[in-house]
Amino acid sequence: MSVHKDLIQHAANQNKDFRHFQQLDQQREIYIEEAIQFCKEGKPFTTDKINKVTKEINSIQLRFIPERKIVTSEMVREYVSRSKS
């Protein structure tokens, strides 16, 4: 019976981690959109908030979550430049 309880606890922990991942991933997307908008408007922006969340996402130990890339200001500028075309 102990193994059964351990498996239930493990599944619950993974579910908790996955929900945390989803929240962080959504926040990351919001920060990316914010940086894109600032760039389009010619306003100064940084990728600090994006990368802080990215590092937190990458620290979650779930095998099925692909690692997220660190975003640079140049990446944002390139994306905005391409989306204008």
Angle at which helix 2-40 crosses helix 73-84, to 10 degrees, equals: 60
Burial class (CB in 10 A: 0-12, 13-18, 19+), 50: buried
DSSP-based three-state secondary structure for 36: helix
What is the block-wise mean pLDDT of the chain (85 residues), using blocks of 10 residues? Answer: 83 89 97 98 98 96 88 97 85
The structural domains of the chain, with segments of one domain joined by +, span: 2-84
Residue-level pLDDT at 1: 64
